[in-house]
Structure 1
């Protein structure tokens, strides 16, 4: 190895490429440099070795006897290096790394992972739950699910679901509701990081200008949802956050009025990297699960408005 330190690696690459391809022009094209640069690297390498590798002739470069023997070893060595690099870059396609927000992982994805495992036992999921927008070009993340307007630079974004918001509360609190205006009587639990406000839904319900009374505020949507489940107030939630709890009956979505936020759920993948078979399979499964979840959610009738009793 010490002997190798006395020779520039770029020079050896130039020698190997020129010898294998038979010309400076072909070597320069493969290496991405000019023919003059290849020639200079060869001259430097010959000087460092103290022996001629090529003979200069009207026909171009011709390998010397020494050069032919050296080329066999160099070509073998560079082929090994190329395979080592390819193997290092090769991903284990049986493991799929998915980046999602913690609230999406906790409130939507984990409830369904058994179904994915049963359907695709050959794929092991690694869930990276983070709000950080990871760099899909340099990280080991295969697929991300993000909420936004879909304009993220350097990624391929595919629409998954348009986000809609609606109030959710415990069945006990829902029993007090007769008409949309009654929701103003309930205390609200707030997700401080939400990208929308109660005004969005109040306007859709014909209650423009009204204000909710806030009981608790949380810096995490999942905690606000837990507070709603515990009967501490009403929350303005969206499909993938509250859908499971509504279908299981631990939350009620009164009135059936939904408001679009202008944001959407997207799959995001690398714009330059080939998508693995496992990533394609996962995306198809998520779409199926989202469609089924939305069907179940829409099939649940909103509690009917009960007119006040007459006396």
Structure 2
């Protein structure tokens, strides 16, 4: 099919020249020289092996071939313009968000109906990712990442600080008659493999004046993401540290509890990262506002 495709630039020139019935007016509309218009028409006529214009002292007229060809080419051009405009409009309102699996699974996906109600014109495409992101290398307009709290993250907006809760299944808690914070930490501790010192830091926060050592009672299996730890806690595998905004709204309904109401500020936060050249995109700004408001009330 490609081998039989006529020269596109010549088709565009033909459509304008046939509509205006003037090479000079076509040149003005296309911002080229009259000679360039004439050359493109000759190229197309040579490709088709027939003339498209009658060149007379009184001006241009279309040949019979030109009269039949023009409406078909005009329709095709309009279809291309319409298809391009539709694609550009769809892209205009579509954002690709690169997001950590835990943030999406435990918080954002359950809130999609609220997001769609608040921003009905926004189309959001989500892909999962973790770690550093280079917007030029990945097809994403923005990303959400958990990073150490800092004022030096470029093109980043802090959505919420990370507050971790020690969460356990109600049955496991009751079965072990866990009546103190020390006893809670004697249960199997679910490790977060990408932050292996998390339990040690939490223990130091919980008992700042104690010389006791964190019990060596971790689970046999560690997990990379909070949503995986959440699944293990539901299966009564042990105690896990989970971000408050991801879990608080479902604590009662899921039989998970934070028995002593402990809240631990980890020194991390969840940031919205944007591509520098899209920082002021209206859709990104609207989504940023919605995320900030929702997490402020979580």
Q: TM-score range by the shorter chain?
A: 0.5 to 0.7
1:223 aligns with 2:219: no
Aligned length: 272
Indicate which of 62, 66, 79 corresponds to 2:62: 66
Q: CA deviation at 1:82?
A: 0.7
Q: CA deviation at 1:291?
A: 1.9
Secondary structure at the aligned position of 2:264 is classed as: coil
What is residue 305 of structure 1 aligned with on the other side?
none
The verdict on how the C-alpha distance between 1:219 and 1:122 changes in structure 2, with shifts beyond 3 A counting, is closer
What is residue 79 of structure 1 aligned with on the other side?
78
What is residue 151 of structure 2 aligned with on the other side?
none
The answer as to whether partners of 2:160 and 2:296 remain within 8 angstroms in 1 is no
Secondary structure at the aligned position of 1:187 is classed as: coil
The verdict on how the C-alpha distance between 1:270 and 1:111 changes in structure 2, with shifts beyond 3 A counting, is same
What is residue 107 of structure 2 aligned with on the other side?
108
Indicate which of 194, 216, 234 corresponds to 2:239: 234
What is residue 192 of structure 1 aligned with on the other side?
193
CA deviations 1:115-174 (Å, max 9, x no partner) are 557x569679877563488989997x8x86521459xxxxx8654223343433356379
Tell me the TM-score normalised to structure 1 length.
Answer: 0.58
The verdict on how the C-alpha distance between 1:247 and 1:217 changes in structure 2, with shifts beyond 3 A counting, is same
Tell me the TM-score normalised to structure 2 length.
Answer: 0.60
CA distance in 2, matches of 1:236, 1:164: 9
- Aligned 1:41-190 pairs, distance under 5 A: 41-49=40-48, 50-51=50-51, 53=53, 64-66=60-62, 73=71, 74-91=73-90, 100-113=99-112, 119=117, 128=126, 130-131=128-129, 146-149=144-147, 158-170=157-169, 172=173, 175-178=178-181, 185-190=186-191
What is residue 300 of structure 1 aligned with on the other side?
none
What is residue 257 of structure 1 aligned with on the other side?
264
**Any unmatched runs of 5+ in structure 2?**
149-154
CA deviations 1:247-281 (Å, max 9, x no partner) are 767221644332212x424275895599687x776
Indicate which of 266, 272, 277 corresponds to 2:272: 266
Q: CA deviation at 1:78?
A: 1.6
The verdict on how the C-alpha distance between 1:88 and 1:235 changes in structure 2, with shifts beyond 3 A counting, is same
CA deviations 1:18-45 (Å, max 9, x no partner) are 676835475257xxxx998766534422
CA distance in 1, matches of 2:177, 2:246: 19
Deviates more, 1:249-258 or 1:88-97: 88-97
